[in-house]
Chains A and B, each alone.
Chain A
């Protein structure tokens, strides 16, 4: 158990819909990362937050957004869903937001868009 909690574990929704994935980082970790993993692709970095503020942006679509709340939990919002958005979405956390910190991954949220 990494200490990073993600909900829901599985989610099936229709195209055009909107979903919210939730992440609670490890106790004491200030930085949260979101990654997308598809069957034919590796781990794609989406976005990082540090202590409530956006720190870095990767290959995140405009239909996707995220935020980190004062209690440090984070949410990833996916809207106007398309079939290609079906993937495993990982949240990860680290103590600080600096490269070189160990990143601890949650178990992921499986999103299936039908």
Chain B
């Protein structure tokens, strides 16, 4: 079945260090979305990438969509304690219209 995997599963960084999470799909994705879930909270939409090789930035966050549209990454520069949470990528199913979420990367930022 369709799978969206993320690595790493957990990441601990010192405040100020950079962080990257990678998302890999077993199939080509028409688009990919990224969500952030704070501890005890619900997933919140961050961004959507559609084009092959697309790169988008939101302040310290940089999102990339692979050329083959089977992988994506989220890079955070100079992490802050407010970046703590779990980051999920989500890609559309091959059939139907729902999104399948990746396994998530839990980020801990040590002050």
Residues of A within 8 A of B (CB): 2, 31, 33, 35, 42-43, 45, 48, 50, 55-58, 90, 92, 97-100, 102-108
Contacts and interface: CB of A to CB of B under 8 A. Distances in A.
Interface stretch (B38-46, B62-70, B76-84): B38-46
A100 B42 contact: no
Contacts of B97: 31, 48, 50, 55-56, 97-99
Given A103-B45, A103-B99, A43 B88 contact: yes
Interface string B70-111: 000000000000000000101011011111111110000000
Q: Which of B30, B97, B101, B103 has the most CB of A within 10 A?
A: B97
A106 B98 contact: no
Residue of B43, B95, B102 ringed by the most chain A CB atoms within 10 A: B43
15 contacts: A42-B102, A43-B88, A45-B98, A45-B99, A48-B98, A55-B97, A56-B95, A90-B42, A98-B97, A99-B98, A99-B99, A102-B48, A103-B43, A104-B45, A105-B44
B33 interface: yes
B20 interface: no
Contacts of B48: 100, 102
Interface in B4-37: 30-31, 33
A42 B45 contact: no
A107 B37 CA distance: 11
Given A42-B88, A42-B102, A99-B31, A48 B43 contact: no
Contacts of A31: 97
Contacts of A56: 93, 95-98
